Amino acid sequence: MRRNIYLRTIPIEEALSRVREALDRKALVGVERIGAERAAGRVTAEPVIARYSSPTFHSAAMDGIAVRAADTFLAREGSPVCLAPGEGFVFVNTGHPLPPAFDAVVMIENVVMDGEAATIESPVAPFAHVRRIGEDIVATEMILPRHRRITPYDIGALLSCGAYDISVYERVRLRVIPTGDEVMDFTGRPEPGPGQVVESNSMLLCALAGSWGMDCARVAPVRDDPELLAAALEEGLDSDAHIVVIVAGSSAGSKDFTRATIERFGEVLVHGVAVMPGKPSLLGLARGKLVVGAPGYPVSSVVCFERLLYPLACWLSRVEPQTRQTVTATLARSVPSRIGMLDIVRLAVGQVGNTYVALPLSRGAGSISSMTKAQAVTQLPPEAEGLESGARVTAELLVDAGELARTLVCVGSHDNTLDILADMLMRRDPAIRLASSHVGSMGGLIALKNGAAMLAGAHLFDPASGDYNFPFLAKYLPGLSVTVVNLAIRQQGFIVAPGNPKGIAGVADLAREGMRYLNRQRGAGTRILFDHHLAKAGIAPEAIQGYGREEHTHMAVAVNVKTGAADCGLGVYAAAKALGLDFVPLARERYDLVMPTAFADDPKIRAVLEVVRGQAFADRVRALGGYDTDWTGRVMEPGLGLPGEPAA
């Protein structure tokens, strides 16, 4: 099968301009007449003119009495004017029509009743406390201009002036076609087998479109067959959709048929944009409709929707795209980028002191979890070669800014107990979000030193003293006052396949021929522990096949063993237990939380201490397996070592 080739990769703005020039939006998106009561969020297609004035009559603006203003002109304190009922005044309530022959209202609190007569001691001007006809809206005046997005507040004005039915542009309608031989339709609640994935991109994109006020219809997945795909596209073009989206198949693989399929019915305008992720995005025109080829990886697909489809859909419906709130944030670690490409990076963002700190999330185009964890995105310009830790970036917020002040930034070693901590913090009122970046224990200490985190997880073992963390704090954080609180004592060991088919009993077995080991990243406490045991056994790192292969979490190590990508990796017992794997114990170790003492009174830190010192947290940690909670929540001091194993 001949592979596709990319057309010239172009910047996003050029891609949008090319499509706007080719599309006839007036012919594509029509106008409809709808009831004003259902018009919130829609866009006016013509000016809206008031049929009636508001108010339609002179009305009382206060509770009191309606009077003729001229009858009150002589009223003075100590020399009141006395008005007879009926002829001289009439009682009125707020909103009541002003009776004929009366032209003002006296507030009831300024009226003294003398039998049935009313006396007042202050004069009132004509039309005092009266809402006059047309005071708010005058019949025949324009209430809303053309191309105005209608707000909930507008609904009241439209109905009050008799604009019961208005002309608006149609909602943009999308038809989404997921494709792929490997995808399984989620509607059948399938159990994926080898080489299969549950199709989720289409509903992710439909949900995005719905949040933008568009109507979206999704069809069942279509196999990677040119004729089936052509039939699905033709059906979409014959439907009432304004935009047809083909999910996956937009790249240059042997089974990527989207471009060729569009060319059967129309023309390809854009194939490849200078943005990462999202480069394979494809835009075409067929039968007067926009056809979008969204990449198959979910993050790329979302970038295609947010940066290409959304502005084009707004243009079609004559509405200004909504802009996100931004904050300036400091990067907690370096971010690489490719010259010549706009790089979009998702971030977790929290407030550390008076500074917003951004944790770059996974850059993989297939990393769905990065979208779940992200609170913001930032753009690295095409001319950038990446940004160093400490660089300041503009972060476009995906959440309300108030959430950032309730986000606790934790950088350091990964441990499964952090998930429990995160869940229990979110159950508080107000909820606190834990944004964690797994860069290893040493990375956590450096983040504290740079003011890029309020909390760091660490389990750094010092062979010389037999102690944990404190020797490293003294070396790398001199002068920084910190408080160290134990989270748990955990069991580290070798995660192996069920039944331990390779017969791994200790470190020496890892040097055997054909053994595939999976390591943790440099700076991780687990790697430091492993190196310590290698040295004790007299084994050089280069003797371990796979020593250079790295993962950043215990669960990532475990899943590699589970799937046969590795024979063994060092990790916590809880990770092995979670995936039904076997475990060969190697060492107990102390996992602590390190926090600058300057943040001791911060509500987020106080909440952490309350949670970890509670019985509910200890119970949940022990239930994971491989954890001892005797010291959980205790403030640590140098030389404590482990329970029952004092430091040297």
CA dist., res. 610 & res. 622, Å (int): 18
CA dist., res. 338 & res. 331, Å (int): 18
* Strand (E) or helix (H) holding 473: helix 470-476
Higher-pLDDT residue of 248 and 83 is 83
Phi, psi (deg, nearest 5) at residue 475: -80, -45
Q: Spell out the SS3 assignment of 302-355.
A: HHHHHHHHHHHHHHHCCCCCCCCCEEEEEECCCECCCCCCEEEEEEEEEEECCE
CA dist., res. 269 & res. 274, Å (int): 15
State the pLDDT confidence band at 241, using cuts at 50, 70 and 90: very high
State the pLDDT confidence band at 33, using cuts at 50, 70 and 90: very high
Note whether 307 and 275 are within 8 A (CB).
yes
Is the pLDDT at 366 greater than 80? The verdict is no
Phi, psi (deg, nearest 5) at residue 419: -65, -40
State the pLDDT confidence band at 2, using cuts at 50, 70 and 90: very low
Q: Average the pLDDT over 170-190 and give the result.
A: 92
**Which residue matches tokens 């996956």?**
248
Is the pLDDT at 62 greater than 70? The verdict is yes
CA dist., res. 143 & res. 47, Å (int): 8
Looking at residue 496, its pLDDT comes to 95
Looking at residue 362, its pLDDT comes to 83
Q: What is the pLDDT of residues 289-322, one digit of tens each?
A: 999 999 999 999 999 999 999 999 999 999 989 9
Number of helices and strands in the chain (H, E)? 18, 37
**Four-CA torsion 239, 242, 244, 245, nearest 10 degrees:** -140
All structural domains of the chain, each given as residue ranges with its CATH number in brackets, are: 12-27+172-316 (3.40.980.10), 31-54+136-169 (3.90.105.10), 59-131 (2.170.190.11), 443-628 (3.40.190.290)
Is the pLDDT at 254 greater than 60? The verdict is no
Peptide bond into 55 cis (omega under 30): yes
Q: Average the pLDDT over 217-235 and give the result.
A: 95
CA dist., res. 348 & res. 404, Å (int): 9
3-state secondary structure of 25: helix
Residue 548: how many other CB atoms lie within 10 Å: 10
* Alpha-carbon separation of residue 584 from 494, 498, 509, 557, 643 (angstroms): 5, 11, 12, 14, 21
Q: What is the pLDDT of residues 84-134, one digit of tens each?
A: 999 999 999 999 999 999 999 999 999 999 899 999 999 999 999 999 998
Is the pLDDT at 13 greater than 70? The verdict is yes
CA dist., res. 102 & res. 91, Å (int): 11
- Chain centre distance of CA 341: 23
What's the mean pLDDT when you consider all of the chain? 92
Residues 6+ apart with CB under 8 A from 495: 554, 557, 558, 561, 568, 569, 570, 571, 575, 576, 581, 582, 583
Looking at residue 437, its pLDDT comes to 85
State the pLDDT confidence band at 1, using cuts at 50, 70 and 90: very low
Looking at residue 98, its pLDDT comes to 94
**Which residue matches tokens 């031989």?**
181
State the pLDDT confidence band at 154, using cuts at 50, 70 and 90: very high
CA dist., res. 28 & res. 32, Å (int): 13
Note whether 582 and 497 are within 8 A (CB).
yes
Q: What is the pLDDT of residues 421-458, one digit of tens each?
A: 999 999 999 999 999 888 889 999 999 999 999 999 99
Q: Average the pLDDT over 503-531 and give the result.
A: 91
- Which pair of tokens denotes residue 646? 């004092």
Higher-pLDDT residue of 190 and 3 is 190
Higher-pLDDT residue of 386 and 408 is 408
Running DSSP on this structure, what letter comes out for residue 171? P
pTM: 0.83
Handedness of CA 246, 250, 255, 261 (dihedral sign): positive
When mean pLDDT is compared across 41-55, 141-155, 361-375, 381-395, the lowest value belongs to: 361-375
Is the pLDDT at 60 greater than 80? The verdict is yes
Running DSSP on this structure, what letter comes out for residue 450? T
Work out the percent of the chain whose per-residue pLDDT is above 90: 79
Note whether 636 and 469 are within 8 A (CB).
yes
Looking at residue 255, its pLDDT comes to 63
Looking at residue 272, its pLDDT comes to 92
Is the pLDDT at 374 greater than 70? The verdict is yes
CA dist., res. 132 & res. 127, Å (int): 8
Looking at residue 326, its pLDDT comes to 95
- Chain centre distance of CA 362: 14
Running DSSP on this structure, what letter comes out for residue 126? T
CA dist., res. 464 & res. 472, Å (int): 12
E strand intervals along 573-626 = 582-596
Note whether 445 and 456 are within 8 A (CB).
yes
Is the pLDDT at 337 greater than 90? The verdict is no
Q: Average the pLDDT over 532-540 and give the result.
A: 92
- Which pair of tokens denotes residue 343? 């790089």
3-state secondary structure of 273: strand
Burial class (CB in 10 A: 0-12, 13-18, 19+), 143: buried
CA dist., res. 639 & res. 648, Å (int): 7
* Alpha-carbon separation of residue 273 from 270, 321, 352 (angstroms): 8, 20, 36
Is the pLDDT at 566 greater than 60? The verdict is yes
Q: Average the pLDDT over 556-573 and give the result.
A: 94
∠ CA 149-153-157 to the nearest 5 degrees? 95
In b/e form, how buried is each residue of 331-368, taking b as 16+ CB within 10 angstroms?
A: bbbebebeeebbbbbbbbbbbbeeebbbbbbbbebebb
Q: Average the pLDDT over 497-509 and give the result.
A: 94
Looking at residue 522, its pLDDT comes to 85
State the pLDDT confidence band at 194, using cuts at 50, 70 and 90: confident
Note whether 476 and 445 are within 8 A (CB).
yes
